[in-house]
Amino acid sequence: MDVATQSHLAALRDLLIYRLGELRADLHAAELAAADSRDRAPGLDDVHDMKDAATQRSDVELMSAQTRRDQDELALVEAALQRLDAGTYGDCAACGEPIALARLQAQPAAPRCAGCQAAFEKASRRA
Ligand SMILES: [Zn+2]
């Protein structure tokens, strides 16, 4: 971690804790909404109009895609807080170089430097 990051650690921790709270609230709300729609919506077997069934399915898929993104980000935020406690926060998980402070301020949970993240995304798109 570089010296500039060290002097901003308290603010970065605040950002992470704030984001953690937001994500947990979002996921909780999504859980409630999912439970609610399960209670109210007729089962797909009861829907005879195929268009209705398709619409219903795509709503569910849309919601779970958002929920998956939230869960992924929550895992990143939790991991970043663990690195803060362990004193390894701010170092790239791939190359070990310090992550630029500006990048951490924009994305406090970023586990990799910009270069390694780009390479990681390229690799996971190929997979
Ligand atoms: Zn890196």
Count CB neighbours of 23 within 10 A: 21
| pLDDT of res. 59 | 66
From the CA of 73, how far away is ligand 1's center (Å)? 19
From the CA of 98, how far away is ligand 1's center (Å)? 8
| pLDDT of res. 91 | 95
Count CB neighbours of 100 within 10 A: 17
pLDDT in tens, the chain (127 residues): 888 899 999 999 999 999 999 999 999 999 998 888 877 766 555 555 666 666 666 666 667 888 999 999 999 999 999 999 999 999 999 999 999 999 999 999 999 999 999 999 999 988 6
From the CA of 89, how far away is ligand 1's center (Å)? 13
Return the CATH architecture of domain 3-126: Up-down Bundle (1.20)
DSSP states along 15-80: HHHHHHHHHHHHHHHHHHHHHHHHHHSPPGGG---HHHHHHHHHHHHHHHHHHHHHHHHHHHHHHH
From the CA of 12, how far away is ligand 1's center (Å)? 19
